[in-house]
Amino acid sequence: MKIGTIADLHIDRHNKKTSDDYLEALVEIVKYKNLDILLIAGDISNHYQLTHQFITQLTKQLDIPVKFVPGNHDLWEVESMTTQDIWNNYKSMSQCLVGKPFIVNEEWAIIGHTGWYDYSFAAQRFSLDELQKGKHYGATWQDKERVSWGISDQNLSEIAAEQ
């Protein structure tokens, strides 16, 4: 069995390539590699509708299971949707692994969860307060402005780990 895994496509970040270009390239490589399953480990785009559309189109063009876990960028809020709304939207998709393990065969299953960062790997020169603010030398950690779970990153990380 050949399982392909890819992450951090960021299909909306390139000035000269479109989401269709990424779709075409990924379909081509999956077929060339003769994969049996494709896993996408987050950060497909910065907008949930584009991520949703990309996964839907990819699934239609491939004759293999396509599964994904949303990354932090996939969860960035828009005016009309909260982080929780976007999360629920992804969880309703059959391709999303969150809360729905994919049974490969009698011996193997694939599970996935977005998880969240709890600062345990942060450089010691940063205090907990600095990390929670998400600002450093005038730069802002975009998740601090575009993702709002309503609880601390550490608590969210604990909840994710328990699932």
- Residue ranges per structural domain of the chain: 1-114, 115-163
Select the more confidently predicted residue: 134 or 61.
61
Select the more confidently predicted residue: 4 or 122.
4
Look at residue 92 and tell me whether its pLDDT is greater than 90: yes
| CA 72 centroid distance within chain | 6
Residue 137's pLDDT is what?
Answer: 82
Q: Which residues sit opposite 139 in a β-bridge? A: 136
**Closest of 40, 20, 43 to residue 30, by C-alpha:** 40
Lowest-pLDDT choice from 77-81, 90-94, 101-105: 77-81
DSSP assignment string, 66-130: EEE---TGGG--BTTB-HHHHHHHHHTSTTB-BT--EE-SSS-EE-B------STTS-TTS-HHH
CA–CA distance, 21 with 107 (Å, rounded to integer): 36
Q: How confident is the prediction for the chain on average, in pLDDT?
A: 91
Q: Tell me the pLDDT tens digit for each residue of 12-24.
A: 988 899 999 999 9
Dihedral over Cα of 84, 64, 43, 158: its sign: positive
Dihedral over Cα of 18, 66, 2, 99: its sign: positive
Whether residue 36 contacts residue 13, with contact meaning beta carbons closer than 8 Å, is answered with no
Look at residue 163 and tell me whether its pLDDT is greater than 80: no
- Provide the percentage of residues in the chain whose pLDDT is more than 70: 100
Residue with tokens 């996408």: 40
Residue 114's pLDDT is what?
Answer: 86
Q: Tell me the pLDDT tens digit for each residue of 105-159.
A: 999 999 998 888 888 888 888 888 888 888 888 888 888 877 888 888 888 888 8
